[in-house]
Structure 1
Amino acid sequence: MKLLWLYSLYLAGIIAGSNFEISWLVLPASLLPLPLVCFKRARKVALWGSLSLLLLIAGLASSSPHAIGAGLEVLAWYNNSGIVTINATIDRDIEIRDSSQHLHLDCSQVSSQGVNRSTTGHLLVYTSRYPEYKYGDELLITGKLEKPPVFKNEITGEVEFDYASYLANQGILSIMVYPEIQVISANNSNFFLSGLYDIKQKLAFSIERALPEPSSSLVCGILLGQRYKIHQDIQDDFSRTGAFHLLAISGLHLGIIATMTLSLGRAVLGRQGYIYIFLALTAIWLYAIVSGSGAPVIRAAVMASIFLLAELAGRQKSALPALALAASIMVAIDPKIINTTSFQMSFSAMAGIMLFYSSIRSWGQKILSRLFGEKRKLPALAGLIIDSLSASLAATIFVLPLTLHYFGIFSPLGPLVTLLLMPALIPIIAISMPVAVLGLFWPTGAMALGWLCWVFSKYTLVVTEWFSGWDSSYAENITFSGFLVIVYYSGMLAAYLVAMIWKRTKKHPVANHQMETG
């Protein structure tokens, strides 16, 4: 818990430091408690106080605006300032829609009013579906830079979606809509990522050829992370039923997959040799690679791997400090990710699984044991359902305040809908992967196998559509402030600590009685 306290202080410093400037020159302030080491009784407090201040100030200084730099703001300086010409390179997988493409660009030079200047920053460009562009293409783009919009209700004026903040969390402060584009050169990219993105597009085309709509777009979203292909009304159904997390490849998603693979591996292979853990690790990283190996996916896979490695070492209690350490390292490398929704939800989901999964699973097993009888062994399918639901509930409990804060939607049916959909999620992933690969060589065979995948995807669509039609299935436009998020997590942590103390007291009643009377 001491290590967890130190990591938490560093992360708290980074969160606070992003809101105001502080210099590294303040770092010597961490030495203020050290004179207390002269007093024997205060020595320990002085050392811990100094170390705590050191990490807090380090977090504050490393994430303050001047420390991160103003490079991203340089490009934004030209927002709404007329026509500019930008030299930039496509640095991410291209989002291909029905009639348009979304290009994510890393900018190197900007020309305004005849003056050329070097710049750094990221730009999102909306352009027509054709001609097609590829990751690594160097482009010369001429158009008007604009600040991303904030969408408000026309009647009430309330903010419905802060698109500007959403993109800012990805380091994007400027957009261009249908500019003039000229390709300067191609293949200026990372060879591995370029090949990966190319394979991903081919797999997506293979799925689209093997499955009818809207099942094909749903499967592309779940398997390949191409959520933008899923029709908006379907995404709304998932949101209203509290099951949207099943479409997002995050710590929650990978955590559920990890626990389900663990449970399935234990049931089929047993615990001998820990093969079931290596199977789960393989499933997570294979899934992360196939889905595109984006930074949020890799971060989620690392967090899920920590959970599995703690299981392998038999030190589940050490998983949370290890998770905090991994998060601290990621944030130290790139302080801006602390403000991204994907990072926060991945960390919260995995923390929830690490803290509450075992307890919820134990309660579920006790309930089923009473139903089936204490002496009867639980069916393997029942155990799999308990494990998947326990992971889903544990993750959902911890992700809930962030969902309310960022999306303003709450569904009391979320756990039930998740329970109904989880049995279909693994078959969709397990079947769609060979369908996608088979479609590259034998489209007819992929279509034949695809019908089995269609059954599970159709079931998923029917369930979400049916529950989203309930009048009381969800509440939207909920205001859940950042302060309430902090209060929620503080309450959950306090509840966990109380439960741990109560469990220790229950295990060692004699020792505790002697301490009280002695």
Structure 2
Amino acid sequence: MEKGIALLGRNIFLLASGTFLFGVFISSFSNFSFSTAIFFVFLSALLFLYRWLKVAEAETQRIFKIIALTLLFFAVGVARYEVKDLSAPHPALLERVGERASVTGVVVEEPEHRETYELYIIRASEFDGEKILVRAELYPQFDYGDEVKFSGRLDRPGAIEEGGRIFDYAAYLAKDDIYLILSFASGELVAEGGGSPVKRALLTVKFRFIGNFERRITEPASSLLSGIILGTESSLGKDLEQTFRTTGIIHIVVLSGYNITLVASSILWLLSRLCFLSRRVSLAASALGIVLFAIMVGGAPSVVRASLMAILVLLARATGRTYHVARGLVIAACAMVLWNPKVLVFDTGFELSFLATVALIWIAPLLGEKFSRITEKFALRTIVSDTVATQLFVLPLLLYKTGLFSVVSLPVNLLVLPIVPVIMFFGFFAGLLGFLAGFLAFPFAIIAQFLLTYVLKVVEWFSSLPFAAVSLTFFPAALMWFIFALYGFMLWRIYKNKRARQAQVLLS
């Protein structure tokens, strides 16, 4: 007990982060208000005052300090969520729900292409900047920054039932302050050139890259390459996307932290080779490159998390400090939740990204020691341990959220992941050199085409197996939390015993 109190007392950062996240988590399910946050702040102030008056023993004062900090940062988490939850649909639009309506707004996010419709997110200036999700006809198509007049049926999003499972679509959209959907809409262009000039320029580069891929690599390989490098998951098509989900390899086309890490490493490596740049300038340029890339590909939670952690690594190098990856993960999580507290519970991508990173930090090294018989050539042992660790650790959440268990996920990942960096290398230069001359890009495109075809064949063959995936219609939340608690207990015991053995070795 005393050791635990002393540990928490020394690690204020861990205490503050944990209680802040817990406050946001509890608020996501409870009907708290600002009064609740004020009440906990008041209790915290009383404890701090009691400690300041020194009317108790030193050990009791330390306990009061920990409790006071716990209540304070819990209150901060509650208050931050309540601030986010103040958003509500515009009253004038609510009156039109269930009817046909015309709304003029600027497209504020990159449009998403679907097989039968286009998805736009617009900000309607005439309704105080209300964000609306628009499901529009395939044609005409509009771009980021266009001001468009859409006409369609205005509705509030509701729950979606698929495969016997209920998806709270309203809560998912609410995390981005979207409370209304305009369906079966037709659009009419009003003006062009709105939005952020920087983002508009980055998206132009992105679309030209995709065009270079499409001119030199055949479908569906070019769409797969766009997904791997630029995160354009929707370009795969519904059937192929489902095939990737069935085989548990969808993460390579949604720009996971794995992809971003490769991009960040490549940017730093290239800039470090420029002799005229100082070390700090190259690190700053690398951080800027990571930020611009994250903006260009849309800023999904996994992208933001990996980008923040990569920037923290660069900051540590620039200041000469040691980078602690676990602390970096906590900082990234708190920063993202502070910016948008609703991602903690209502964004599956955020949750999967952090669980996978936790697995890589604490579980993969343990498995690497157990897989000593696997060769280290071509980083095979690392790939196997990382794949097994992430697959096991995210499985409870995946089963709870989707009910889909991929039986073939492990072999497919082992066959595909080793060549993803190679695909990114040749694919990137095929797109880059395409801006200069086709004959320069051709050799890189040929190799990329061959590797992408290999990935597609592996995925298609494994997905055709009758036992490729098992669908569960019900996986209770209580079971998910029990499994994660079991994981946590096992990790605690393993690392506790490991530290004890290390201490014995040092003493002997």
What TM-score do you get using the length of structure 2 for normalisation? 0.83
Aligned equivalents of 1:67, 1:129: Cα separation in 2: 33
Q: Using the TM superposition, give the Cα deviation of residue 462 of structure 1 relative to its aligned residue in structure 2, in angstroms.
A: 0.9
1:336-355 alignment, distance < 5 Å: 336-338=342-344, 339-355=346-362
Matched to 1:125, the amino acid is: V
Q: Deviations over 1:246-268 (max 9, x none)?
A: 2221335545x489989x99xxx
- Closer/same/farther in 2, CA of residues 511 and 360 from structure 1, 3 Å limit: closer
Q: Secondary structure in 1 aligned to 2:134?
A: strand
Aligned equivalents of 2:243, 2:353: Cα separation in 1: 22
Alignment partner, residue 373 of structure 1: none
Q: Give yes or no for the alignment of 1:30 onto 2:44.
A: yes
Alignment partner, residue 273 of structure 2: none
Q: Deviations over 1:80-121 (max 9, x none)?
A: 331223232111112234664321112232xxxxxxxx3443
Matched to 1:48, the amino acid is: I
Aligned equivalents of 1:484, 1:222: Cα separation in 2: 33
The counterpart of 1:142, out of the listed 141, 151, 160, is: 151
Alignment partner, residue 12 of structure 1: 22
Conservation of the 8 A alpha-carbon contact between 1:251 and 1:303: no
Alignment partner, residue 69 of structure 2: 51
Conservation of the 8 A alpha-carbon contact between 1:252 and 1:350: no
Q: Give yes or no for the alignment of 1:83 onto 2:92.
A: no
Alignment partner, residue 494 of structure 2: 499
Aligned equivalents of 1:78, 1:402: Cα separation in 2: 38
Matched to 1:194, the amino acid is: R
Alignment partner, residue 276 of structure 2: none
Q: Using the TM superposition, give the Cα deviation of residue 457 of structure 1 relative to its aligned residue in structure 2, in angstroms.
A: 0.8
Alignment partner, residue 68 of structure 1: 85
Conservation of the 8 A alpha-carbon contact between 1:209 and 1:443: no
Matched to 1:188, the amino acid is: G
Conservation of the 8 A alpha-carbon contact between 1:17 and 1:60: yes
Bigger mean CA deviation after superposition, 234-243 or 290-299: 290-299
Matched to 2:38, the amino acid is: L
Q: Using the TM superposition, give the Cα deviation of residue 10 of structure 1 relative to its aligned residue in structure 2, in angstroms.
A: 0.7
- Closer/same/farther in 2, CA of residues 334 and 6 from structure 1, 3 Å limit: same
- Closer/same/farther in 2, CA of residues 55 and 143 from structure 1, 3 Å limit: same
Aligned equivalents of 1:473, 1:314: Cα separation in 2: 47
Q: Secondary structure in 2 aligned to 1:38?
A: coil
Q: Give yes or no for the alignment of 1:107 onto 2:124.
A: yes
Q: Deviations over 1:57-77 (max 9, x none)?
A: 21112213x653133475873
Matched to 1:95, the amino acid is: E
1:251-330 alignment, distance < 5 Å: 251=257, 253-254=259-260, 257=262, 285=290, 288-289=293-294, 292-296=297-301, 297-306=303-312, 318-330=324-336
- Closer/same/farther in 2, CA of residues 246 and 480 from structure 1, 3 Å limit: farther
- Closer/same/farther in 2, CA of residues 456 and 75 from structure 1, 3 Å limit: farther
- Closer/same/farther in 2, CA of residues 165 and 286 from structure 1, 3 Å limit: closer
Q: Deviations over 1:348-395 (max 9, x none)?
A: 22222222233233333x2237xxxxxxxx54x2xx222233333333
Conservation of the 8 A alpha-carbon contact between 2:228 and 2:259: no
1:333-372 alignment, distance < 5 Å: 333-338=339-344, 339-364=346-371, 366-368=372-374
Once the two structures are aligned, what percentage of the paired residues are identical? 23
- Closer/same/farther in 2, CA of residues 62 and 287 from structure 1, 3 Å limit: closer
Alignment partner, residue 113 of structure 1: none
Q: How many residues get paired?
A: 477
- Closer/same/farther in 2, CA of residues 122 and 244 from structure 1, 3 Å limit: same
The counterpart of 2:32, out of the listed 11, 14, 21, is: 21
Matched to 2:299, the amino acid is: G
Alignment partner, residue 158 of structure 1: 164
- Closer/same/farther in 2, CA of residues 386 and 510 from structure 1, 3 Å limit: closer
Bigger mean CA deviation after superposition, 173-182 or 133-142: 173-182
Q: Using the TM superposition, give the Cα deviation of residue 43 of structure 1 relative to its aligned residue in structure 2, in angstroms.
A: 0.8
Aligned equivalents of 1:483, 1:172: Cα separation in 2: 30
1:210-221 alignment, distance < 5 Å: 210-221=216-227
Q: Give yes or no for the alignment of 1:388 onto 2:383.
A: yes
Q: Give yes or no for the alignment of 1:437 onto 2:432.
A: yes
Q: Secondary structure in 1 aligned to 2:214?
A: helix
Q: Secondary structure in 2 aligned to 1:387?
A: helix
Q: Using the TM superposition, give the Cα deviation of residue 11 of structure 1 relative to its aligned residue in structure 2, in angstroms.
A: 0.5
Q: Give yes or no for the alignment of 1:185 onto 2:199.
A: no
Alignment partner, residue 468 of structure 2: 473
- Closer/same/farther in 2, CA of residues 397 and 183 from structure 1, 3 Å limit: same
Q: Deviations over 1:465-484 (max 9, x none)?
A: 11112222221135333333
Matched to 1:356, the amino acid is: I
Q: Give yes or no for the alignment of 1:422 onto 2:417.
A: yes
Q: Secondary structure in 2 aligned to 1:335?
A: coil
Q: Using the TM superposition, give the Cα deviation of residue 309 of structure 1 relative to its aligned residue in structure 2, in angstroms.
A: 7.0
Bigger mean CA deviation after superposition, 409-418 or 195-204: 409-418
CA RMSD of the aligned region, Å?
A: 3.5
Matched to 1:344, the amino acid is: E
Question: What are the ranges of 5 or more consecutive residues in structure 2 without an aligned counterpart?
Answer: 1-7, 271-278
Q: Deviations over 1:428-461 (max 9, x none)?
A: 1111111112233434543453221111111111
Q: Deviations over 1:261-305 (max 9, x none)?
A: 89x99xxxxxxxx99x98xx7899389449625253233321355
Alignment partner, residue 274 of structure 2: none
The counterpart of 1:464, out of the listed 459, 466, 491, is: 459
Q: Using the TM superposition, give the Cα deviation of residue 149 of structure 1 relative to its aligned residue in structure 2, in angstroms.
A: 5.4
Q: Using the TM superposition, give the Cα deviation of residue 14 of structure 1 relative to its aligned residue in structure 2, in angstroms.
A: 0.5
Aligned equivalents of 1:232, 1:107: Cα separation in 2: 30
Conservation of the 8 A alpha-carbon contact between 2:199 and 2:296: no
Alignment partner, residue 5 of structure 2: none
What TM-score do you get using the length of structure 1 for normalisation? 0.81
Aligned equivalents of 2:391, 2:78: Cα separation in 1: 30
Aligned equivalents of 1:348, 1:233: Cα separation in 2: 27
